[in-house]
Structure 1
Amino acid sequence: MSSSLSANVPVDLRVEPVDDVLDEVERVLQTQLDRGTLVRKRRSLGARTDRGTWVRVERRRFDKIGSQGWNGTECAALLEGVAKPQWHRGAAWRQPGDAVMWRADETDLLPGAPIGSSVLAAEPALSEEWWQAFNRSLDALAQQHTRRVATPDTAVITQGGFAEAIHRFLPGGVDTTVNRWLPAHADLNWANMTGPEFCLFDWEDWGMAPQGLDAASLWGNSLAVPALAERVCDERRHDLESRDGKLMTLFVCAKILAPDAHPEDPRLEPARRMAAQVAEDLQRG
Protein backbone atom coordinates (compact mmCIF):
# COMPACT_ATOMS: atom_id res chain seq x y z
CA MET A 1 0.00 0.00 0.00
CA SER A 2 1.40 3.39 -0.93
CA SER A 3 0.58 6.55 0.95
CA SER A 4 1.67 10.17 1.01
CA LEU A 5 1.08 10.47 4.76
CA SER A 6 4.50 10.92 6.36
CA ALA A 7 5.50 10.42 9.99
CA ASN A 8 7.45 13.66 9.86
CA VAL A 9 4.49 16.01 9.39
CA PRO A 10 1.25 16.41 11.38
CA VAL A 11 -1.53 14.32 9.90
CA ASP A 12 -5.27 14.84 10.30
CA LEU A 13 -7.28 11.97 8.83
CA ARG A 14 -10.36 14.17 8.72
CA VAL A 15 -8.92 15.95 5.70
CA GLU A 16 -6.27 13.62 4.22
CA PRO A 17 -7.12 11.30 1.30
CA VAL A 18 -7.65 7.82 2.75
CA ASP A 19 -8.98 5.69 -0.11
CA ASP A 20 -5.77 3.65 -0.32
CA VAL A 21 -5.94 2.94 3.42
CA LEU A 22 -9.54 1.76 3.15
CA ASP A 23 -8.63 -0.41 0.16
CA GLU A 24 -5.93 -2.09 2.25
CA VAL A 25 -8.36 -2.67 5.13
CA GLU A 26 -10.76 -4.42 2.76
CA ARG A 27 -7.95 -6.57 1.43
CA VAL A 28 -6.49 -7.70 4.74
CA LEU A 29 -9.84 -8.26 6.48
CA GLN A 30 -11.54 -9.78 3.42
CA THR A 31 -14.57 -7.53 3.66
CA GLN A 32 -16.18 -4.55 1.96
CA LEU A 33 -16.54 -1.26 3.80
CA ASP A 34 -19.66 0.87 3.47
CA ARG A 35 -17.95 4.14 2.60
CA GLY A 36 -21.20 5.98 3.23
CA THR A 37 -20.85 5.21 6.94
CA LEU A 38 -17.25 6.41 7.16
CA VAL A 39 -16.39 8.33 10.34
CA ARG A 40 -13.22 10.37 10.14
CA LYS A 41 -11.34 11.56 13.23
CA ARG A 42 -7.93 13.15 13.60
CA ARG A 43 -5.98 9.89 13.88
CA SER A 44 -8.60 7.19 13.26
CA LEU A 45 -11.24 6.08 10.79
CA GLY A 46 -14.28 3.86 11.19
CA ALA A 47 -16.85 2.27 8.90
CA ARG A 48 -19.46 -0.47 8.76
CA THR A 49 -18.67 -3.69 6.87
CA ASP A 50 -20.75 -5.84 4.55
CA ARG A 51 -20.94 -8.53 7.28
CA GLY A 52 -22.66 -6.25 9.78
CA THR A 53 -19.63 -5.37 11.87
CA TRP A 54 -17.56 -2.23 12.46
CA VAL A 55 -13.92 -1.61 11.62
CA ARG A 56 -11.82 1.01 13.37
CA VAL A 57 -8.57 2.01 11.67
CA GLU A 58 -5.81 3.91 13.43
CA ARG A 59 -2.57 5.51 12.27
CA ARG A 60 0.26 5.70 14.80
CA ARG A 61 3.93 6.66 14.65
CA PHE A 62 6.53 4.16 15.85
CA ASP A 63 7.43 6.36 18.82
CA LYS A 64 3.79 6.19 19.98
CA ILE A 65 3.60 2.40 19.88
CA GLY A 66 6.13 1.51 22.57
CA SER A 67 7.19 -1.81 24.02
CA GLN A 68 3.69 -3.05 24.89
CA GLY A 69 2.44 -2.57 21.35
CA TRP A 70 -0.86 -0.96 20.45
CA ASN A 71 -3.33 -3.83 20.39
CA GLY A 72 -5.52 -2.47 23.17
CA THR A 73 -8.81 -3.34 21.49
CA GLU A 74 -7.65 -6.92 20.90
CA CYS A 75 -6.41 -7.29 24.49
CA ALA A 76 -9.68 -5.89 25.82
CA ALA A 77 -11.45 -8.92 24.32
CA LEU A 78 -10.24 -10.86 27.37
CA LEU A 79 -11.95 -8.55 29.88
CA GLU A 80 -14.82 -10.21 31.73
CA GLY A 81 -17.94 -8.50 33.01
CA VAL A 82 -17.39 -5.32 31.01
CA ALA A 83 -20.03 -4.19 28.50
CA LYS A 84 -18.10 -3.65 25.27
CA PRO A 85 -18.32 -4.61 21.59
CA GLN A 86 -17.06 -8.12 20.87
CA TRP A 87 -13.73 -8.15 19.01
CA HIS A 88 -13.48 -10.44 15.96
CA ARG A 89 -10.16 -9.87 14.22
CA GLY A 90 -7.44 -7.35 13.56
CA ALA A 91 -4.55 -6.58 11.24
CA ALA A 92 -1.57 -4.23 11.28
CA TRP A 93 0.87 -3.11 8.60
CA ARG A 94 3.70 -0.67 8.14
CA GLN A 95 3.39 2.33 5.89
CA PRO A 96 6.14 1.85 3.29
CA GLY A 97 9.00 4.29 3.64
CA ASP A 98 7.87 5.82 6.94
CA ALA A 99 8.05 5.09 10.66
CA VAL A 100 4.28 4.73 10.74
CA MET A 101 1.95 1.78 11.40
CA TRP A 102 -1.69 1.26 10.55
CA ARG A 103 -4.00 -1.02 12.50
CA ALA A 104 -7.55 -2.20 11.78
CA ASP A 105 -9.81 -3.86 14.38
CA GLU A 106 -13.16 -5.43 13.53
CA THR A 107 -15.80 -5.56 16.26
CA ASP A 108 -19.53 -5.91 16.71
CA LEU A 109 -21.62 -2.86 15.98
CA LEU A 110 -22.47 -0.67 18.96
CA PRO A 111 -25.86 -1.35 20.59
CA GLY A 112 -26.74 2.33 20.40
CA ALA A 113 -25.42 5.75 19.52
CA PRO A 114 -22.61 7.50 21.41
CA ILE A 115 -24.11 9.62 24.16
CA GLY A 116 -22.55 12.78 22.79
CA SER A 117 -19.27 14.55 22.27
CA SER A 118 -16.48 13.90 24.74
CA VAL A 119 -17.46 16.97 26.78
CA LEU A 120 -21.21 17.44 27.22
CA ALA A 121 -23.01 20.78 27.24
CA ALA A 122 -26.44 19.40 28.18
CA GLU A 123 -27.57 16.65 30.52
CA PRO A 124 -28.23 13.33 28.73
CA ALA A 125 -31.29 11.21 29.43
CA LEU A 126 -29.76 8.22 31.21
CA SER A 127 -31.84 5.62 33.03
CA GLU A 128 -31.08 4.08 36.40
CA GLU A 129 -30.37 0.85 34.50
CA TRP A 130 -27.73 2.70 32.48
CA TRP A 131 -25.96 3.90 35.62
CA GLN A 132 -26.11 0.41 37.12
CA ALA A 133 -24.52 -1.10 34.00
CA PHE A 134 -21.92 1.68 33.98
CA ASN A 135 -20.93 0.90 37.57
CA ARG A 136 -20.87 -2.86 36.99
CA SER A 137 -18.49 -2.46 34.07
CA LEU A 138 -16.12 -0.08 35.84
CA ASP A 139 -16.10 -2.26 38.96
CA ALA A 140 -15.45 -5.37 36.85
CA LEU A 141 -12.66 -3.61 34.95
CA ALA A 142 -10.89 -2.75 38.20
CA GLN A 143 -10.83 -6.47 39.12
CA GLN A 144 -8.98 -7.56 35.96
CA HIS A 145 -5.28 -8.35 35.66
CA THR A 146 -3.00 -6.93 32.98
CA ARG A 147 0.58 -5.94 32.32
CA ARG A 148 -0.54 -3.14 30.03
CA VAL A 149 0.04 0.44 31.17
CA ALA A 150 -2.57 3.03 30.25
CA THR A 151 -1.65 5.45 27.46
CA PRO A 152 -4.04 8.43 27.62
CA ASP A 153 -3.69 10.44 24.40
CA THR A 154 -1.11 7.78 23.32
CA ALA A 155 1.30 8.81 26.13
CA VAL A 156 2.23 6.27 28.82
CA ILE A 157 0.93 7.43 32.18
CA THR A 158 3.66 7.66 34.81
CA GLN A 159 4.01 8.68 38.44
CA GLY A 160 6.36 11.47 37.43
CA GLY A 161 4.08 12.75 34.70
CA PHE A 162 0.99 13.36 36.79
CA ALA A 163 3.03 14.48 39.82
CA GLU A 164 4.48 17.25 37.67
CA ALA A 165 1.02 18.19 36.38
CA ILE A 166 -0.54 18.55 39.84
CA HIS A 167 2.46 20.22 41.51
CA ARG A 168 0.96 23.64 40.68
CA PHE A 169 -1.84 22.98 43.17
CA LEU A 170 0.23 21.56 46.04
CA PRO A 171 3.05 23.01 48.16
CA GLY A 172 6.36 21.19 48.42
CA GLY A 173 6.34 18.34 50.86
CA VAL A 174 2.88 17.01 49.99
CA ASP A 175 3.28 13.38 48.91
CA THR A 176 1.91 12.79 45.41
CA THR A 177 2.78 9.09 45.28
CA VAL A 178 -0.05 6.91 44.01
CA ASN A 179 -0.57 3.80 46.11
CA ARG A 180 -3.07 1.84 44.05
CA TRP A 181 -2.86 1.15 40.33
CA LEU A 182 -5.85 -0.58 38.70
CA PRO A 183 -6.94 -1.42 35.14
CA ALA A 184 -8.59 1.63 33.57
CA HIS A 185 -10.17 2.49 30.23
CA ALA A 186 -8.01 5.67 30.24
CA ASP A 187 -10.20 7.56 27.77
CA LEU A 188 -13.52 7.64 29.61
CA ASN A 189 -15.71 10.32 28.10
CA TRP A 190 -19.24 10.70 26.77
CA ALA A 191 -18.22 10.00 23.17
CA ASN A 192 -16.97 6.51 24.12
CA MET A 193 -20.17 5.27 25.78
CA THR A 194 -23.53 4.44 24.25
CA GLY A 195 -27.14 4.90 25.29
CA PRO A 196 -29.83 4.00 26.04
CA GLU A 197 -28.00 0.67 26.43
CA PHE A 198 -24.64 1.09 28.14
CA CYS A 199 -21.56 0.01 26.19
CA LEU A 200 -17.97 1.21 26.53
CA PHE A 201 -15.81 1.29 23.42
CA ASP A 202 -12.49 2.60 22.02
CA TRP A 203 -10.16 0.47 24.13
CA GLU A 204 -6.87 1.29 22.44
CA ASP A 205 -5.40 3.11 25.48
CA TRP A 206 -6.55 0.94 28.39
CA GLY A 207 -4.18 -0.43 31.00
CA MET A 208 -2.95 0.05 34.56
CA ALA A 209 -3.51 3.55 35.93
CA PRO A 210 -3.97 5.24 39.29
CA GLN A 211 -7.28 4.48 41.01
CA GLY A 212 -9.81 7.14 40.09
CA LEU A 213 -8.41 8.14 36.69
CA ASP A 214 -11.55 7.05 34.80
CA ALA A 215 -13.95 8.57 37.32
CA ALA A 216 -12.04 11.86 37.45
CA SER A 217 -11.83 12.01 33.65
CA LEU A 218 -15.59 11.55 33.24
CA TRP A 219 -16.25 14.08 36.00
CA GLY A 220 -14.04 16.61 34.19
CA ASN A 221 -15.91 16.01 30.95
CA SER A 222 -19.20 16.66 32.78
CA LEU A 223 -18.36 19.95 34.48
CA ALA A 224 -20.33 22.07 32.00
CA VAL A 225 -23.45 20.31 33.35
CA PRO A 226 -23.22 20.63 37.16
CA ALA A 227 -25.94 18.05 37.89
CA LEU A 228 -24.20 15.51 35.68
CA ALA A 229 -20.80 16.13 37.29
CA GLU A 230 -22.41 15.67 40.70
CA ARG A 231 -24.01 12.41 39.57
CA VAL A 232 -20.65 11.08 38.38
CA CYS A 233 -19.18 11.97 41.78
CA ASP A 234 -22.01 10.18 43.56
CA GLU A 235 -21.76 7.05 41.42
CA ARG A 236 -17.96 6.77 41.68
CA ARG A 237 -17.56 8.16 45.18
CA HIS A 238 -15.41 5.25 46.40
CA ASP A 239 -12.88 6.06 43.67
CA LEU A 240 -12.92 9.84 43.88
CA GLU A 241 -12.81 10.07 47.68
CA SER A 242 -9.76 7.83 47.92
CA ARG A 243 -6.42 9.60 48.23
CA ASP A 244 -5.39 8.39 44.79
CA GLY A 245 -8.75 9.56 43.41
CA LYS A 246 -8.12 13.03 44.80
CA LEU A 247 -4.73 13.10 43.08
CA MET A 248 -6.40 12.10 39.82
CA THR A 249 -9.00 14.84 40.28
CA LEU A 250 -6.15 17.35 40.52
CA PHE A 251 -4.57 15.77 37.43
CA VAL A 252 -7.78 16.29 35.45
CA CYS A 253 -8.16 19.84 36.79
CA ALA A 254 -4.60 20.58 35.66
CA LYS A 255 -5.47 19.54 32.11
CA ILE A 256 -8.66 21.63 32.10
CA LEU A 257 -6.83 24.66 33.52
CA ALA A 258 -3.93 24.41 31.07
CA PRO A 259 -2.35 27.70 29.89
CA ASP A 260 -3.96 27.30 26.46
CA ALA A 261 -7.48 26.73 27.87
CA HIS A 262 -10.25 28.64 26.14
CA PRO A 263 -11.24 31.52 28.44
CA GLU A 264 -14.95 30.80 27.90
CA ASP A 265 -14.74 27.09 28.74
CA PRO A 266 -17.57 26.62 31.29
CA ARG A 267 -15.48 24.00 33.10
CA LEU A 268 -12.79 26.44 34.20
CA GLU A 269 -14.43 27.89 37.31
CA PRO A 270 -15.76 24.60 38.74
CA ALA A 271 -12.34 23.01 38.08
CA ARG A 272 -10.63 25.85 40.00
CA ARG A 273 -13.00 25.42 42.93
CA MET A 274 -12.55 21.66 43.03
CA ALA A 275 -8.76 21.90 42.71
CA ALA A 276 -8.60 24.28 45.68
CA GLN A 277 -10.85 22.05 47.78
CA VAL A 278 -9.00 18.83 46.96
CA ALA A 279 -5.59 20.45 47.46
CA GLU A 280 -6.71 21.61 50.91
CA ASP A 281 -7.91 18.10 51.76
CA LEU A 282 -4.58 16.57 50.72
CA GLN A 283 -2.56 19.12 52.68
CA ARG A 284 -4.52 18.23 55.81
CA GLY A 285 -3.50 14.62 55.18
Structure 2
Amino acid sequence: MFSEPDDPAVVDRMRAAHAVASAALGAALCTQVPGGTREAWGWRGRTLGRPATGPYGPGWLRVVHSPAEKARGKLWTGPEDAERLVPRLVPRPRLHLVREWTEGDDAYRAELYDCVADGALSPSPVLTETPRLTAAWWSGLRTALGHLSTVRTERTAVRQAYLDRAMPKCLAFLDGPVPTAPPAWSTAHGDLHWANLSGPELSILDWEGWGMAPAGYDAALLHAYSLAVPGIAERVRMELSGILASDAGRFAELVVITELLQSAERGDNRELVPALRHRAEVVYRPGSR
Protein backbone atom coordinates (compact mmCIF):
# COMPACT_ATOMS: atom_id res chain seq x y z
CA MET A 1 0.00 0.00 0.00
CA PHE A 2 1.07 3.57 -0.59
CA SER A 3 0.08 7.02 0.60
CA GLU A 4 -2.81 8.95 -0.88
CA PRO A 5 -1.57 10.67 -4.06
CA ASP A 6 -0.42 14.28 -3.75
CA ASP A 7 -2.40 15.27 -6.83
CA PRO A 8 -5.99 16.03 -5.74
CA ALA A 9 -7.21 15.48 -9.31
CA VAL A 10 -5.99 11.86 -9.17
CA VAL A 11 -7.67 11.37 -5.80
CA ASP A 12 -10.99 12.77 -7.03
CA ARG A 13 -10.85 10.77 -10.25
CA MET A 14 -10.15 7.46 -8.49
CA ARG A 15 -12.82 8.02 -5.84
CA ALA A 16 -15.33 8.81 -8.57
CA ALA A 17 -14.31 5.63 -10.42
CA HIS A 18 -14.72 3.65 -7.22
CA ALA A 19 -18.28 4.96 -6.90
CA VAL A 20 -18.98 3.87 -10.48
CA ALA A 21 -17.56 0.43 -9.69
CA SER A 22 -19.70 0.11 -6.56
CA ALA A 23 -22.85 0.74 -8.56
CA ALA A 24 -21.81 -1.57 -11.40
CA LEU A 25 -21.08 -4.51 -9.08
CA GLY A 26 -23.95 -3.94 -6.67
CA ALA A 27 -21.58 -3.21 -3.78
CA ALA A 28 -21.54 -0.51 -1.13
CA LEU A 29 -18.86 0.82 1.18
CA CYS A 30 -18.90 -1.18 4.38
CA THR A 31 -18.20 0.07 7.89
CA GLN A 32 -18.75 -3.32 9.51
CA VAL A 33 -15.41 -4.90 8.55
CA PRO A 34 -12.01 -4.42 10.21
CA GLY A 35 -10.68 -0.97 9.36
CA GLY A 36 -14.06 0.52 8.49
CA THR A 37 -14.02 2.66 5.33
CA ARG A 38 -10.21 2.70 5.08
CA GLU A 39 -8.67 3.37 1.69
CA ALA A 40 -5.75 1.40 0.27
CA TRP A 41 -3.90 3.26 -2.46
CA GLY A 42 -1.57 1.74 -5.03
CA TRP A 43 1.59 3.23 -6.47
CA ARG A 44 0.96 6.83 -7.59
CA GLY A 45 -2.78 6.32 -7.27
CA ARG A 46 -2.96 3.61 -9.92
CA THR A 47 -5.32 1.56 -7.71
CA LEU A 48 -7.80 2.26 -4.94
CA GLY A 49 -9.30 -0.43 -2.72
CA ARG A 50 -11.97 -0.20 -0.02
CA PRO A 51 -13.99 -2.67 2.06
CA ALA A 52 -17.47 -3.21 0.66
CA THR A 53 -20.55 -5.37 0.98
CA GLY A 54 -22.06 -6.90 -2.10
CA PRO A 55 -23.64 -10.01 -3.62
CA TYR A 56 -21.16 -12.27 -1.80
CA GLY A 57 -21.26 -10.55 1.57
CA PRO A 58 -18.32 -8.63 3.08
CA GLY A 59 -15.64 -8.06 0.48
CA TRP A 60 -12.97 -5.79 -0.92
CA LEU A 61 -13.60 -3.61 -3.96
CA ARG A 62 -10.51 -2.58 -5.89
CA VAL A 63 -10.38 -0.25 -8.89
CA VAL A 64 -7.42 -0.16 -11.29
CA HIS A 65 -6.67 2.72 -13.66
CA SER A 66 -4.68 2.66 -16.89
CA PRO A 67 -4.40 4.82 -19.98
CA ALA A 68 -6.86 3.22 -22.39
CA GLU A 69 -4.18 2.32 -24.93
CA LYS A 70 -2.28 0.35 -22.26
CA ALA A 71 -5.23 -1.46 -20.68
CA ARG A 72 -4.01 -4.93 -21.52
CA GLY A 73 -1.19 -7.32 -20.69
CA LYS A 74 -0.12 -9.13 -17.54
CA LEU A 75 -0.76 -6.36 -15.01
CA TRP A 76 -4.29 -5.86 -16.34
CA THR A 77 -5.29 -9.53 -16.32
CA GLY A 78 -3.13 -10.88 -13.47
CA PRO A 79 -5.80 -11.27 -10.77
CA GLU A 80 -8.23 -12.95 -13.15
CA ASP A 81 -5.51 -15.29 -14.42
CA ALA A 82 -4.59 -16.18 -10.85
CA GLU A 83 -8.19 -16.99 -10.02
CA ARG A 84 -8.28 -19.45 -12.93
CA LEU A 85 -4.82 -21.00 -12.70
CA VAL A 86 -3.41 -20.81 -9.17
CA PRO A 87 -4.71 -23.60 -6.90
CA ARG A 88 -6.67 -22.73 -3.78
CA LEU A 89 -3.86 -24.38 -1.82
CA VAL A 90 -2.19 -20.97 -2.18
CA PRO A 91 -4.16 -18.81 0.32
CA ARG A 92 -5.53 -15.62 -1.18
CA PRO A 93 -8.84 -13.73 -1.37
CA ARG A 94 -11.14 -15.14 -4.02
CA LEU A 95 -11.95 -12.86 -6.96
CA HIS A 96 -15.71 -12.94 -7.62
CA LEU A 97 -16.56 -10.21 -10.13
CA VAL A 98 -14.74 -8.07 -12.71
CA ARG A 99 -16.02 -5.10 -14.72
CA GLU A 100 -14.14 -2.89 -17.19
CA TRP A 101 -15.05 0.48 -18.71
CA THR A 102 -13.47 3.49 -20.34
CA GLU A 103 -13.96 7.22 -19.91
CA GLY A 104 -12.22 9.10 -22.70
CA ASP A 105 -8.53 8.23 -22.55
CA ASP A 106 -8.86 6.44 -19.20
CA ALA A 107 -9.60 2.75 -18.69
CA TYR A 108 -10.79 1.26 -15.40
CA ARG A 109 -11.10 -2.25 -14.03
CA ALA A 110 -13.18 -3.07 -10.96
CA GLU A 111 -12.49 -6.27 -8.99
CA LEU A 112 -14.64 -7.56 -6.12
CA TYR A 113 -12.80 -9.93 -3.77
CA ASP A 114 -13.53 -11.83 -0.61
CA CYS A 115 -12.86 -9.84 2.54
CA VAL A 116 -9.58 -10.78 4.23
CA ALA A 117 -10.27 -10.96 7.95
CA ASP A 118 -6.72 -10.05 8.94
CA GLY A 119 -5.11 -6.93 7.56
CA ALA A 120 -1.76 -6.54 5.83
CA LEU A 121 1.27 -7.01 8.04
CA SER A 122 2.72 -3.64 7.02
CA PRO A 123 1.32 -0.40 5.59
CA SER A 124 4.20 -0.33 3.08
CA PRO A 125 6.39 -2.91 1.30
CA VAL A 126 9.40 -2.15 3.51
CA LEU A 127 9.01 -3.64 6.95
CA THR A 128 9.64 -1.20 9.81
CA GLU A 129 8.25 -3.11 12.81
CA THR A 130 8.46 -6.71 13.96
CA PRO A 131 5.27 -8.63 13.16
CA ARG A 132 4.13 -11.42 15.46
CA LEU A 133 4.12 -14.51 13.30
CA THR A 134 3.56 -18.09 14.38
CA ALA A 135 5.39 -21.20 13.25
CA ALA A 136 2.18 -22.17 11.45
CA TRP A 137 2.24 -18.90 9.47
CA TRP A 138 5.79 -19.55 8.27
CA SER A 139 4.98 -23.15 7.46
CA GLY A 140 1.96 -21.99 5.48
CA LEU A 141 4.10 -19.52 3.54
CA ARG A 142 6.65 -22.21 2.64
CA THR A 143 3.86 -24.51 1.50
CA ALA A 144 2.17 -21.78 -0.52
CA LEU A 145 5.39 -20.82 -2.31
CA GLY A 146 6.04 -24.47 -3.06
CA HIS A 147 2.60 -24.95 -4.64
CA LEU A 148 2.87 -21.70 -6.56
CA SER A 149 6.30 -22.52 -7.98
CA THR A 150 4.88 -25.49 -9.89
CA VAL A 151 1.99 -23.66 -11.59
CA ARG A 152 2.32 -23.80 -15.36
CA THR A 153 1.90 -20.41 -17.04
CA GLU A 154 3.07 -18.35 -19.98
CA ARG A 155 2.99 -15.21 -17.85
CA THR A 156 6.35 -13.56 -17.14
CA ALA A 157 7.25 -11.66 -13.98
CA VAL A 158 10.96 -11.17 -14.74
CA ARG A 159 12.50 -11.22 -18.21
CA GLN A 160 15.92 -12.55 -19.16
CA ALA A 161 16.54 -9.47 -21.30
CA TYR A 162 16.14 -7.31 -18.18
CA LEU A 163 18.65 -9.42 -16.24
CA ASP A 164 21.19 -9.21 -19.06
CA ARG A 165 20.83 -5.45 -19.21
CA ALA A 166 20.40 -4.40 -15.58
CA MET A 167 22.42 -6.79 -13.44
CA PRO A 168 25.91 -5.90 -14.73
CA LYS A 169 25.10 -2.20 -14.44
CA CYS A 170 23.49 -2.17 -10.99
CA LEU A 171 25.93 -4.68 -9.48
CA ALA A 172 29.09 -3.18 -10.97
CA PHE A 173 30.40 -2.53 -7.46
CA LEU A 174 30.93 -6.27 -6.95
CA ASP A 175 34.46 -7.57 -7.43
CA GLY A 176 34.11 -9.80 -10.43
CA PRO A 177 31.83 -10.74 -13.33
CA VAL A 178 28.12 -10.63 -12.58
CA PRO A 179 26.12 -13.71 -13.67
CA THR A 180 22.85 -13.04 -15.46
CA ALA A 181 21.57 -16.55 -16.23
CA PRO A 182 19.34 -18.03 -13.48
CA PRO A 183 20.09 -21.62 -12.41
CA ALA A 184 16.35 -22.27 -12.77
CA TRP A 185 13.01 -20.58 -13.41
CA SER A 186 9.72 -21.10 -11.58
CA THR A 187 6.39 -19.40 -11.07
CA ALA A 188 6.36 -16.54 -8.57
CA HIS A 189 3.90 -14.09 -7.06
CA GLY A 190 6.27 -11.38 -8.22
CA ASP A 191 5.50 -8.79 -5.52
CA LEU A 192 5.83 -10.67 -2.25
CA HIS A 193 6.37 -7.96 0.34
CA TRP A 194 4.91 -7.23 3.76
CA ALA A 195 2.04 -5.07 2.50
CA ASN A 196 0.87 -8.02 0.39
CA LEU A 197 0.82 -10.54 3.23
CA SER A 198 -1.81 -10.80 5.95
CA GLY A 199 -1.53 -12.23 9.44
CA PRO A 200 -1.95 -13.89 11.82
CA GLU A 201 -3.92 -15.89 9.23
CA LEU A 202 -1.86 -16.08 6.07
CA SER A 203 -3.28 -14.66 2.87
CA ILE A 204 -1.30 -13.46 -0.16
CA LEU A 205 -2.70 -10.30 -1.76
CA ASP A 206 -2.31 -8.43 -5.08
CA TRP A 207 -1.81 -10.87 -7.95
CA GLU A 208 -1.23 -8.37 -10.74
CA GLY A 209 2.34 -9.27 -11.63
CA TRP A 210 2.67 -13.01 -11.03
CA GLY A 211 4.46 -15.22 -13.54
CA MET A 212 7.77 -16.87 -14.33
CA ALA A 213 10.84 -15.55 -12.50
CA PRO A 214 14.23 -16.85 -11.38
CA ALA A 215 13.62 -19.66 -8.87
CA GLY A 216 13.58 -18.26 -5.32
CA TYR A 217 12.47 -14.80 -6.43
CA ASP A 218 9.61 -14.45 -3.93
CA ALA A 219 11.71 -15.49 -0.94
CA ALA A 220 14.49 -13.15 -2.04
CA LEU A 221 12.10 -10.23 -2.42
CA LEU A 222 10.55 -10.76 1.01
CA HIS A 223 14.03 -10.92 2.53
CA ALA A 224 15.14 -7.70 0.84
CA TYR A 225 12.09 -5.83 2.12
CA SER A 226 12.91 -7.12 5.63
CA LEU A 227 16.43 -5.69 5.82
CA ALA A 228 15.38 -2.65 7.86
CA VAL A 229 14.39 -5.03 10.68
CA PRO A 230 17.44 -7.31 11.04
CA GLY A 231 15.71 -9.77 13.35
CA ILE A 232 13.01 -10.46 10.79
CA ALA A 233 15.52 -10.60 7.95
CA GLU A 234 17.32 -13.30 9.90
CA ARG A 235 14.00 -15.08 10.50
CA VAL A 236 13.24 -15.02 6.77
CA ARG A 237 16.66 -16.53 6.04
CA MET A 238 16.02 -19.26 8.60
CA GLU A 239 12.42 -20.06 7.67
CA LEU A 240 13.07 -19.97 3.93
CA SER A 241 16.58 -21.41 4.06
CA GLY A 242 15.62 -24.26 1.78
CA ILE A 243 15.24 -21.65 -0.95
CA LEU A 244 17.63 -18.85 -0.04
CA ALA A 245 20.64 -21.04 0.84
CA SER A 246 20.68 -22.64 -2.61
CA ASP A 247 22.56 -21.38 -5.67
CA ALA A 248 19.21 -20.43 -7.18
CA GLY A 249 18.26 -18.51 -4.03
CA ARG A 250 21.53 -16.59 -3.97
CA PHE A 251 21.09 -15.66 -7.62
CA ALA A 252 17.50 -14.58 -6.95
CA GLU A 253 18.76 -12.27 -4.22
CA LEU A 254 21.08 -10.59 -6.72
CA VAL A 255 18.13 -10.15 -9.09
CA VAL A 256 15.99 -8.53 -6.39
CA ILE A 257 18.86 -6.34 -5.21
CA THR A 258 19.33 -5.19 -8.80
CA GLU A 259 15.67 -4.20 -9.06
CA LEU A 260 15.60 -2.36 -5.74
CA LEU A 261 18.86 -0.52 -6.35
CA GLN A 262 17.50 0.59 -9.71
CA SER A 263 14.23 1.78 -8.17
CA ALA A 264 16.19 3.60 -5.45
CA GLU A 265 17.79 5.67 -8.20
CA ARG A 266 14.27 6.92 -8.91
CA GLY A 267 13.76 7.79 -5.25
CA ASP A 268 12.08 4.62 -3.93
CA ASN A 269 13.16 3.13 -0.58
CA ARG A 270 16.58 4.75 -0.57
CA GLU A 271 17.02 3.81 3.06
CA LEU A 272 17.56 0.20 2.00
CA VAL A 273 20.52 0.92 -0.31
CA PRO A 274 23.38 0.34 2.18
CA ALA A 275 21.86 -2.93 3.38
CA LEU A 276 21.15 -4.06 -0.20
CA ARG A 277 24.73 -3.42 -1.28
CA HIS A 278 26.07 -5.25 1.77
CA ARG A 279 23.78 -8.21 1.14
CA ALA A 280 24.90 -8.39 -2.50
CA GLU A 281 28.50 -8.72 -1.34
CA VAL A 282 27.52 -11.47 1.10
CA VAL A 283 25.71 -13.66 -1.45
CA TYR A 284 27.92 -12.92 -4.47
CA ARG A 285 30.23 -15.65 -5.61
CA PRO A 286 32.32 -14.93 -8.73
CA GLY A 287 31.52 -17.45 -11.44
CA SER A 288 28.72 -19.07 -9.44
CA ARG A 289 25.52 -20.16 -11.14
Match of 1:4 in 2: none
Match of 2:152 in 1: 145
Deviates more, 1:255-264 or 1:186-195: 255-264
**Residue 133 of structure 1: CA displacement?**
1.0
- Percent same amino acid at aligned positions? 32
In the alignment, does 2:166 pair up with 1:165?
A: yes
1:131 to 133, 138, 153: 138
Match of 2:49 in 1: 46
Which one has the bigger helix percentage? 2
In the alignment, does 2:78 pair up with 1:72?
A: yes
Question: C-alpha offsets along residues 68-87 of structure 1, whole Å, 9 cap, x if unaligned?
Answer: 57221122123211011111
Match of 1:277 in 2: 282
Distance 1:172 1:66 in 2: 40
Q: Is the 8 A contact 1:188 1:217 kept in 2?
A: yes
Q: Is the 8 A contact 2:22 2:61 kept in 1?
A: no
Question: CA-atom RMSD, angstroms?
Answer: 2.7
Distance 2:25 2:188 in 1: 29
Distance 1:130 1:166 in 2: 33
In the alignment, does 2:36 pair up with 1:33?
A: no
**Residue 178 of structure 1: CA displacement?**
2.1
Q: Is the 8 A contact 2:247 2:288 kept in 1?
A: no
Match of 1:87 in 2: 95
Distance 1:69 1:188 in 2: 15
Match of 1:216 in 2: 220
What secondary structure, in the 3-state scheme, does the structure 2 residue paired with 1:37 have?
Answer: coil
What secondary structure, in the 3-state scheme, does the structure 2 residue paired with 1:234 have?
Answer: helix
Deviates more, 1:236-245 or 1:225-234: 236-245
For residues 197 and 268 of structure 1, do their structure 2 counterparts lie closer, same or farther at Cα, with a shift above 3 Å needed?
same
Given residue 166 of structure 1, which amino acid in structure 2 is its aligned partner? M
Distance 1:223 1:163 in 2: 26
In the alignment, does 2:240 pair up with 1:236?
A: yes
Given residue 52 of structure 2, which amino acid in structure 1 is its aligned partner? T
Match of 2:181 in 1: 177
Distance 2:101 2:165 in 1: 36
**Residue 40 of structure 1: CA displacement?**
4.3
**Unaligned segments of structure 2, at least 5 residues:** 1-5
For residues 243 and 33 of structure 1, do their structure 2 counterparts lie closer, same or farther at Cα, with a shift above 3 Å needed?
same
Match of 2:203 in 1: 199
2:229 to 214, 225, 229: 225
Distance 1:263 1:208 in 2: 25
Q: Is the 8 A contact 1:34 1:48 kept in 2?
A: yes
**Unaligned segments of structure 1, at least 5 residues:** 1-9, 151-156
What secondary structure, in the 3-state scheme, does the structure 1 residue paired with 2:112 have?
Answer: strand
Q: How many residues align?
A: 266
Q: Is the 8 A contact 1:189 1:221 kept in 2?
A: yes
